[in-house]
């Protein structure tokens, strides 16, 4: 198992590199560079441009050097010093700005995964075991709607309903009265009460996909001979189903985390923007709109790397869950 | 004929009917099957693929899956005379802890998901299947799967179940069972997997073992080993065995009794000697003729049964074999559905040649066709449907 | 006798068109693959109903100038956020029965504090509607000048708001109808681009295998592991604002398809790999067919149905992505009208609370995506006629 973990970690290096290239590309894409934008910004505010400061910035980012040197400086700063560059909009280090937001985003994504699984597993099993029942059709229908509705639309609907029927204006993870207080039980409960709606909205599409995947897999597995064997032993029906076909159907299910995760991160960004949650989403959008590219690039890099880590965890989870994969990979090493 | 008073009779199947609901109406897969299983004896059920032998076996344990269901008939499981202490011979040690029932039970009348049928499954009657690869869970350890079978019916600890599993694996001829008990089925060969299946099936000392083509998916050497193992275990434990196969060679090797099935019916049954040496039903005769024999004239093509098995959804009226039968009697076989006829010595045949047509049947033909094979060679016919080695 | 057989066999396998044409497609055994798929698909009631919805949407998209009661830019300061009007057929106000489609006009009062207009229905102001009426002039497909609309007010001077108005008093219905063209076509064009990428890369990967396959697989895995929305956002933000609507449209489409090709490539590769092992492909190769002939004649036909299914299932993803980007203001820009652009109107709580009908373009997205998903699923289920 340790060899497997090491090998997977090793595999991640080229992908990490590719993600950093993409993030750097996003930084470089807009016309002009950081400096020209910065100078334009300063002149727009009517401020004079300090030549020595410009020299210092040019030096820092190597703006007059070839593009790959710029890349090396950028990524070197991140890897060696945790320096993601400067946000000209906030006049602060990017690393000061992102980590709080990233933390909340990760918490939101994790909560969404837990909730999606908690909903998808029982519903998926029910739909497969009671195929063609009324419940099956109802869940399938809801799943299709959930899949077809953009989650920002769901978020907007939620905002509208909360406002029109409950007179509440939604937004924010921490209610104003707890904004400055330290973490305590009240604040945690407050956060939970504010989070359940975003979590459900972000998770809708993912949950719908997971239910469909689990249902289809389980339907396949239920017809396999080993299920008959288990029944022929005299096991009660629920134990037959939970121990054997569900266990088998979970393998492809677990491997879906890998690609459900990017959707969840994306959905989190969209929903956070609509509900103005203090996560990466709104800040990323703002940074992109203002061409605050080091900030935007940092978000894309961090979100990409986190998704990659999530995928790695799902791979390892799968190896732990399914002895066939564990053994096949152990033999490869 | 077997009756309820016969001490050796384990299980009687009477007029069993199992149907499958499809888009094109109900398809009868098993259409009035009669079988009798005795303890200490092996009954071989033979027939071509699709004749309903597997469905019959599954119907006994209520393991037919929807859209299939049992629509009629009885499956009577008789109580074990040993359990009452009346006849405790052979050192047959029953390890079952849950109380054995004392009266005959009709398994066909039980609910497929109920407690009663579950008590029978794996304890009184267990089953092994054709594909040992697919019939074992690949992600659970061997010991877990056998131990589970033990613990369903016996209140023993996990440790004890593991010890018993190792012992069982030893009994089915697995080398170093202590090591193997912790491996996964995908690490084993086909023969080893089937041995694991057998160990699992025998874990609760069943009185009847149903083996559904257990050697079909194995290579020839392994087949022979598994057959020997099953025959040996059956003898030592004195259990009854229902062995389903399409291989006449296997029948000759292990059967005491034979039931020949064709399109959901048992067309002929009797002891293996009677059926093999004096086949009565034209289908049985044709089956036996299509077996290659050592020393036969090499140039001759092997006789094959002409035509194909009719679609069970479109069963012809009258005798279902008549279109492929050389002895078919026009005007009779296409109108009268042949009932089971007792022809003495515990044998039953479903063929109008032996009566059952209420006066219209030409009974005089019985003597003429009883013993020998039909002399007309059937060359140039369609390829054999029966895989007869 | 001994050599007659092979000759005959070559005759039939050499000209498969002959047997396909010669046999009337009545018996299932001789029916062509597409006919079998069609027969199965026809039994799929949900898929067929959805196909009808998709066809309708496509027609609306193609003829949007004609279908819409007015043009999307036709504004009216007096109708800011006017609510949807109810359609009436029977009018008894005049004393006797008067049949004919009509709506009632508004009485509007401007709230002095909020400056928002409050609307009430004015039953004395009857606006008669009709089919094929003369209305706002337009150019069909931007070329042919015309002024006939499928339906609209009898009097070109009157206005009708069946789905309400936006903050500039523009008709939501007309805007959604125009949005159909852009949103659907971006899905189609985007899918066409991903199709080329996906089929080429997936086919290369599956056919050649080995190192090429390994590389393309890594590429696919990488592309799939990046959270799409942030990446899309990053790339679209780089599209210069100065670009015209058409250039932006294509830039956005390219960005969408750059990320959307992976699924298709996986399907194609998977089919290629499994087909490579099939007996009929081996047989074709043994018969002396060249590589390109094996691919074109024998392999491609047996998975076009799968490709069609995945294509149908990718269009909704494109539509969803476009609407998300445009909603954020990073995709298409006004005055281009797409469902996502229209949703920008619904971005703040005040407009949603005051004019919930600004959410209607989102409903259009849901309906289109749902219908396309059902059709795609239906095709996928019917794609294996020999199962």
Residuewise pLDDT in 10s, chain C (387 residues): 333 333 333 333 333 333 333 334 345 555 666 777 777 777 777 888 888 888 988 888 888 888 777 777 777 777 777 778 777 777 766 666 666 777 777 777 777 666 667 777 777 777 777 777 777 777 778 778 878 777 877 777 777 787 888 777 788 888 888 888 888 888 888 888 888 888 888 878 777 777 888 888 878 877 777 777 787 788 887 777 777 777 888 888 888 887 778 877 877 777 777 777 777 777 777 777 777 777 777 777 767 777 777 788 788 888 888 888 888 888 787 778 888 888 888 877 777 777 888 888 888 888 998 888 888 888 777 766 444
CA B234 to the chain's CA centroid: 15
Cα B254 to Cα A216: distance, rounded to the nearest angstrom: 42
Average pLDDT over residues B145-163: 88
- Protein fold of A97-332: MetI-like fold (1.10.3720)
**Considering the domain boundaries, does residue B287 fall inside one?**
no
First-last CA distance in chain B: 31
| Higher pLDDT among residues B288 and B389, named by residue | B288
Cα C43 to Cα C382: distance, rounded to the nearest angstrom: 9
DSSP letter assigned to residue B214: T
* Residue given tokens 């080229």 in the structure block: A14
Nearest CA-CA partner of B46 in B211, B195, B224? B211
- Where in chain A are all domains bearing CATH 1.10.3720.10? 97-332
Nearest CA-CA partner of A303 in A123, A118, A106, A140? A106
The residues that bridge with C330 in the sheet, in sequence order, are: none
Q: Which helix (H) or strand (E) holds C137?
A: strand C117-140
Count structural domains, chain B: 2
User: Using the beta-carbon criterion (under 8 Å), do C218 and A160 form an inter-chain contact?
Assistant: no
Cα B153 to Cα B118: distance, rounded to the nearest angstrom: 9
In this predicted structure, the answer to whether residue B87 has a pLDDT above a threshold of 60 is no
Cα B55 to Cα B77: distance, rounded to the nearest angstrom: 18
Both B90 and B158 in one domain: the answer is yes
| Residue from C50, C230, C233, C327 to probe the interface with A (highest A Cβ count within 10 Å) | C230
In this predicted structure, the answer to whether residue B165 has a pLDDT above a threshold of 80 is yes
Average pLDDT over residues B155-183: 88
Residue B298 burial class via C-beta count within 10 angstroms: exposed 0-12, middle 13-18, buried 19 and up: exposed
- At A123 the pLDDT is 92
Both B54 and B152 in one domain: the answer is yes
Contacts of B187 in chain A (CB under 8 A): 327
- At B217 the pLDDT is 77
| Residue from C234, C266, C331 to probe the interface with A (highest A Cβ count within 10 Å) | C234
Both B213 and B360 in one domain: the answer is no
- At B82 the pLDDT is 66
In this predicted structure, the answer to whether residue B3 has a pLDDT above a threshold of 70 is no
Cis peptide before C43 (omega within 30 of 0): no
Contacts of A274 in chain C (CB under 8 A): 347
In this predicted structure, the answer to whether residue B84 has a pLDDT above a threshold of 70 is no
User: Using the beta-carbon criterion (under 8 Å), do C229 and A258 form an inter-chain contact?
Assistant: no
The residues that bridge with C19 in the sheet, in sequence order, are: none
CB C125 within 8 A of CB C104: yes
What residue of C is the nearest CA neighbor of A27?
Answer: C234
Q: How do the pLDDT tens digits run along chain A, 333 residues long?
A: 677 788 878 878 888 888 888 888 888 777 666 667 667 766 766 666 677 777 777 776 666 677 777 788 888 888 887 777 777 777 778 888 888 888 888 888 888 888 888 998 999 999 888 888 888 889 888 888 888 888 888 888 888 887 777 766 665 666 666 666 666 777 777 777 777 888 888 888 888 888 888 888 888 888 888 888 888 888 888 888 888 888 888 877 787 777 677 778 888 888 888 888 888 888 888 888 777 778 888 888 888 888 888 878 887 888 888 877 777 655 554
- At A33 the pLDDT is 60
Both B236 and B366 in one domain: the answer is no
Cβ atoms within 10 Å, residue C59? 13
DSSP letter assigned to residue C165: B
**Considering the domain boundaries, does residue B273 fall inside one?**
no
Both B356 and B253 in one domain: the answer is no
**Considering the domain boundaries, does residue B281 fall inside one?**
no
Nearest CA-CA partner of B64 in C309, C375, A232, A7? A232
Going by their DSSP bridges, the two strands C98-110 and C88-91 should be labelled as: antiparallel
Q: Which of A148, A274, A304 sits opposite C370 (nearest CB)?
A: A148
Going by their DSSP bridges, the two strands B265-271 and B125-128 should be labelled as: unpaired
**Considering the domain boundaries, does residue B272 fall inside one?**
no
CB B113 within 8 A of CB A237: yes
User: Using the beta-carbon criterion (under 8 Å), do C228 and A262 form an inter-chain contact?
Assistant: yes
- At B385 the pLDDT is 38
- Strands (E) located in chain A: 86-87, 92-93
User: Using the beta-carbon criterion (under 8 Å), do A226 and B136 form an inter-chain contact?
Assistant: yes
Contacts of C226 in chain A (CB under 8 A): 19, 22, 262, 304, 307
In this predicted structure, the answer to whether residue B108 has a pLDDT above a threshold of 60 is yes
Both B305 and B353 in one domain: the answer is yes
Cβ atoms within 10 Å, residue B253? 16
- At B97 the pLDDT is 45
**What are C231's two structure tokens?**
């990446």
User: Using the beta-carbon criterion (under 8 Å), do A30 and C374 form an inter-chain contact?
Assistant: no
- At B357 the pLDDT is 64
The confidence band for B370, taking pLDDT boundaries of 50, 70 and 90, is very low
| Residue from C222, C229, C316 to probe the interface with A (highest A Cβ count within 10 Å) | C229
Both B182 and B304 in one domain: the answer is no
**Considering the domain boundaries, does residue B285 fall inside one?**
no
**Considering the domain boundaries, does residue B187 fall inside one?**
yes
- At B305 the pLDDT is 75
Of the three residues B214, B249, B267, the one that is the final residue of a domain is: B267
**Average pLDDT, whole number, for chain B?**
78
**3-state DSSP: chain B helix, strand, coil percent, rounded to 5?**
30, 20, 50
CA distance A251 to chain B (A): 10
**Considering the domain boundaries, does residue B133 fall inside one?**
yes
Quote the Cα angle for C354-C355-C357, to 5°: 155
CA distance A247 to chain B (A): 8
Cα A82 to Cα A84: distance, rounded to the nearest angstrom: 6
Contacts of A327 in chain B (CB under 8 A): 184, 186-187
In this predicted structure, the answer to whether residue B98 has a pLDDT above a threshold of 70 is no
User: Using the beta-carbon criterion (under 8 Å), do A307 and C227 form an inter-chain contact?
Assistant: yes
DSSP letter assigned to residue B306: -
Both B248 and B307 in one domain: the answer is no
Contacts of C362 in chain A (CB under 8 A): 149-150, 153, 156-157
Q: Please write the tens of the pLDDT for every residue from A279-310.
A: 888 888 888 877 777 888 888 888 888 888 88
Both B174 and B263 in one domain: the answer is yes
Q: Note which residues in 206-225 of chain A have CB less than 8 A from chain B.
A: 223-225
Nearest CA-CA partner of B319 in B358, B362, B356? B356
Residues 6+ apart with CB under 8 A from A141: none
What residue of B is the nearest CA neighbor of A245?
Answer: B137
Longest CA–CA separation in chain C, Å: 102
Contacts of C325 in chain A (CB under 8 A): none
* Residue given tokens 């275990």 in the structure block: B233
CA distance A289 to chain C (A): 7
What CATH number is attached to the domain comprising B76? 3.40.50.300
Cβ atoms within 10 Å, residue C219? 15
Both B302 and B263 in one domain: the answer is no
B89: left (phi over 0), alpha (psi -120 to 50) or beta: beta
Question: For B80-98, b where at least 16 C-beta lie within 10 A, e where not — what string?
Answer: bebbeeeeeeeebeeebee
CA A150 to the chain's CA centroid: 16
User: Using the beta-carbon criterion (under 8 Å), do A269 and C359 form an inter-chain contact?
Assistant: no
What residue of B is the nearest CA neighbor of A238?
Answer: B113
Q: Is the predicted ipTM greater than 0.85, yes or no? A: no
Task: List own/partner pairs for B149-153 with CB under 8 A and 24 or more apart.
Answer: B149/A233, B149/A234, B149/B122, B149/B200, B149/B201, B149/B203, B149/B204, B150/B203, B150/B204, B152/A233, B152/A234, B152/A235, B152/B118, B152/B122, B153/A234, B153/B96, B153/B97, B153/B98, B153/B119, B153/B122, B153/B123, B153/B204
CA B301 to the chain's CA centroid: 30
Range of the domain at B224: 9-267
Nearest CA-CA partner of B327 in B368, B260, B282, B263? B282
Most confident listed range (A311-315, B31-35, B286-290, B377-381): B31-35
In this predicted structure, the answer to whether residue B301 has a pLDDT above a threshold of 50 is yes
Both B254 and B301 in one domain: the answer is no
Q: Which of A232, A247, A248 sits opposite B122 (nearest CB)?
A: A232
What one-character-per-residue DSSP string does C72-88 give? TT---GGGTTPPPPPPE
Q: What are phi and psi of B261, to 5 degrees?
A: -110, 145
Side-chain-facing half-sphere of B189: CA atoms under 13 Å? 10
Nearest CA-CA partner of A234 in B162, B136, B64, B149? B149
Q: Which residues of B touch A (CB under 8 A)?
A: 58, 61, 63, 65, 113, 118-123, 126-127, 129-131, 134-140, 148-149, 152-153, 184, 186-187, 197, 200
Q: Is residue A268 less than 8 Å (CB to CB) from chain B?
A: no
**Average pLDDT, whole number, for chain A?**
80
Cβ atoms within 10 Å, residue A71? 17
CB C136 within 8 A of CB C156: yes
- At B362 the pLDDT is 46
CB C222 within 8 A of CB A15: yes
Both B36 and B149 in one domain: the answer is yes
In this predicted structure, the answer to whether residue B30 has a pLDDT above a threshold of 70 is yes
CA distance B39 to chain A (A): 20
Q: Is residue A226 less than 8 Å (CB to CB) from chain B?
A: yes
Contacts of A251 in chain B (CB under 8 A): 139
**Considering the domain boundaries, does residue B343 fall inside one?**
yes
CA distance A312 to chain B (A): 22
């Amino acid at each position: 198992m340790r060899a497997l973990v090491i090998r997977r970690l090793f595999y991640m290096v080229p992908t990490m590199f590719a993600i950093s290239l993409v993030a750097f590309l996003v930084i470089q894409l807009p016309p002009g560079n950081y400096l020209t934008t910065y100078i334009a910004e300063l002149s727009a505010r009517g401020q004079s441009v300090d030549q020595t400061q410009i020299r210092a910035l040019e030096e820092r980012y190597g703006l007059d050097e070839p593009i790959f040197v710029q890349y090396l400086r950028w990524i070197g700063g991140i890897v060696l010093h945790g320096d993601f560059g400067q946000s000209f909009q906030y006049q602060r280090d990017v690393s000061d700005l992102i980590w709080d937001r990233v933390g909340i985003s990760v918490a939101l994504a994790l909560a969404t995964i837990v909730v999606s699984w908690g909903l998808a597993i029982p519903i998926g099993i029910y739909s497969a075991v009671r195929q063609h029942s009324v419940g099956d059709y109802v869940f399938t229908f809801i799943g299709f709607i959930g899949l077809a509705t953009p989650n920002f639309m769901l978020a907007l609907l939620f905002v509208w309903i909360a406002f029109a029927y409950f007179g509440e204006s939604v937004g924010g993870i921490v209610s104003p009265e707890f904004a400055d207080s330290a973490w305590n039980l009240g604040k945690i409960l407050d956060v939970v009460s504010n989070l359940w709606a975003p979590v459900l909205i972000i998770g809708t599409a993912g949950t719908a996909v997971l239910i469909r995947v689990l249902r289809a897999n389980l339907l396949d597995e239920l017809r396999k001979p080993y299920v008959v064997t288990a029944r022929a032993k005299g096991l009660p029906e629920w134990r037959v189903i939970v121990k054997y076909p569900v266990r088998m159907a979970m393998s492809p299910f677990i491997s879906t985390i890998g690609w459900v995760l990017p959707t969840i991160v994306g959905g989190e960004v969209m929903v956070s923007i609509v509900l103005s949650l203090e996560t990466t989403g709104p800040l990323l959008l703002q940074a992109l709109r203002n061409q605050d590219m080091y900030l935007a690039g940092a978000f894309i890099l961090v979100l990409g790397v986190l998704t990659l880590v999530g995928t790695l965890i799902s791979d390892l989870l799968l190896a732990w869950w399914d002895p066939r994969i564990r053994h096949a990979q152990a033999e490869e090493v | 004929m077997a009756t309820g008073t016969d001490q050796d009779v384990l299980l009687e199947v009477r007029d069993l009917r199992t149907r499958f609901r499809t888009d094109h109406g109900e398809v009868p897969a098993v259409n009035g099957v009669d079988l009798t299983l005795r303890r200490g004896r092996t009954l071989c059920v033979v027939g071509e693929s699709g004749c309903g032998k597997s469905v019959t076996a599954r119907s006994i344990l209520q393991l037919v899956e929807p859209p299939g269901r049992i629509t009629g008939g009885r499956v009577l499981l008789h109580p074990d005379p040993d359990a009452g202490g009346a006849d405790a011979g052979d050192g047959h040690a029953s390890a079952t802890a849950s109380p054995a029932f004392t009266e005959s039970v009709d398994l066909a009348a039980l609910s497929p998901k109920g407690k009663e049928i579950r008590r029978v499954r794996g304890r009184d009657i267990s089953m092994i299947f054709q594909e040992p690869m697919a019939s074992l869970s690949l992600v659970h350890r061997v010991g877990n799967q056998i131990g589970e079978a033990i613990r369903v019916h016996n209140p023993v600890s996990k440790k004890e179940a593991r010890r018993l599993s190792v012992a069982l694996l030893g009994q089915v001829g697995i080398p170093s069972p202590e090591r193997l008990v912790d491996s996964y089925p995908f690490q084993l060969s086909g023969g080893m997997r089937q041995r694991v299946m057998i160990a699992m099936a025998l874990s609760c000392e069943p009185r009847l073992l149903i083996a559904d083509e257990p050697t079909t998916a194995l290579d020839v050497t392994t087949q022979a080993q598994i057959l020997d193992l099953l025959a040996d275990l059956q003898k030592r434990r004195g259990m009854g065995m229902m062995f389903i196969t399409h291989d006449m060679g296997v029948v000759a090797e292990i059967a005491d009794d034979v039931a020949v099935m064709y399109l959901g019916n048992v067309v002929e049954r009797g002891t293996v000697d009677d059926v093999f040496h004096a086949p009565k039903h034209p289908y049985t005769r044709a089956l036996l003729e299509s077996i290659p024999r050592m020393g036969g004239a090499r140039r001759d093509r092997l006789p094959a049964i002409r035509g194909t098995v009719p679609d069970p959804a479109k069963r012809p009226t009258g005798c279902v074999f008549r279109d492929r039968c050389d002895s078919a009697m026009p005007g009779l076989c296409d109108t009268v559905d042949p009932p089971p006829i007792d022809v003495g010595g515990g044998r039953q045949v479903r063929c109008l040649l032996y009566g059952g047509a209420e006066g219209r049947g030409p009974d005089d033909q019985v003597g003429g066709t009883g013993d020998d094979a039909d002399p007309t060679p059937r060359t140039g016919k369609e390829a054999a449907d029966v895989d007869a080695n | 006798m001994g050599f007659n057989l092979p000759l005959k066999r070559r005759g039939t396998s050499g000209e498969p068109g002959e047997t396909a044409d010669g046999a009337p497609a009545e018996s299932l055994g001789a029916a062509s693959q597409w006919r079998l798929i069609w027969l199965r698909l026809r039994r799929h009631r949900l898929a067929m109903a959805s196909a009808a919805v998709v066809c309708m949407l496509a027609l609306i998209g193609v003829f949007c100038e004609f279908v819409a009661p007015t043009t999307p830019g036709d504004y009216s300061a007096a109708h800011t956020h006017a609510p949807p009007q109810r359609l009436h057929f029977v009018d008894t106000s005049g004393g006797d029965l008067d049949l004919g489609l009509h709506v009632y006009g508004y009485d509007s009062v401007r709230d002095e504090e909020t400056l928002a207009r409050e609307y009430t229905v004015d039953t004395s102001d009857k606006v008669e509607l009709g089919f094929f009426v003369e209305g706002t002039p337009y150019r069909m497909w931007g070329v042919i000048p015309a002024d006939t609309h499928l339906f609209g007010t009898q009097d070109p001077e009157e206005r009708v708001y069946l789905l309400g108005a936006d903050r500039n008093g523009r008709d939501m219905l007309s805007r959604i109808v125009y949005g159909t063209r852009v949103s659907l076509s971006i899905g189609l064009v985007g899918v066409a681009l991903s199709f080329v990428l996906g089929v080429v890369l997936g086919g290369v990967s599956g056919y050649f295998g080995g190192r090429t396959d390994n590389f393309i697989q890594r590429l696919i895995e990488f592309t799939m592991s990046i959270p799409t929305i942030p990446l899309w956002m990053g790339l679209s933000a780089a599209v210069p604002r100065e670009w015209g609507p058409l250039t932006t449209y294509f830039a956005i489409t390219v960005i969408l398809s750059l990320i959307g090709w992976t699924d298709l490539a996986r399907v194609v590769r998977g089919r290629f790999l499994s087909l490579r092992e099939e007996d009929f492909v081996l047989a074709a190769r043994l018969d002396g067919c060249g590589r390109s002939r094996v691919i074109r004649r024998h392999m491609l036909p047996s998975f076009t149905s799968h490709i069609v299914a995945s294509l149908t299932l990718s269009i909704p993803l494109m539509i969803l992505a476009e609407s998300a980007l445009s909603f954020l203001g990073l995709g298409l820009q006004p005055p281009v009208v797409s469902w996502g652009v229209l949703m920008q109107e619904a971005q703040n709580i005040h407009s949603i609370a005051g004019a919930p009908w600004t959410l209607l373009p989102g409903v259009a997205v849901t309906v289109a995506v749902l219908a396309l998903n059902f059709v795609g699923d239906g095709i996928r289920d019917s794609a294996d006629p020999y199962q």
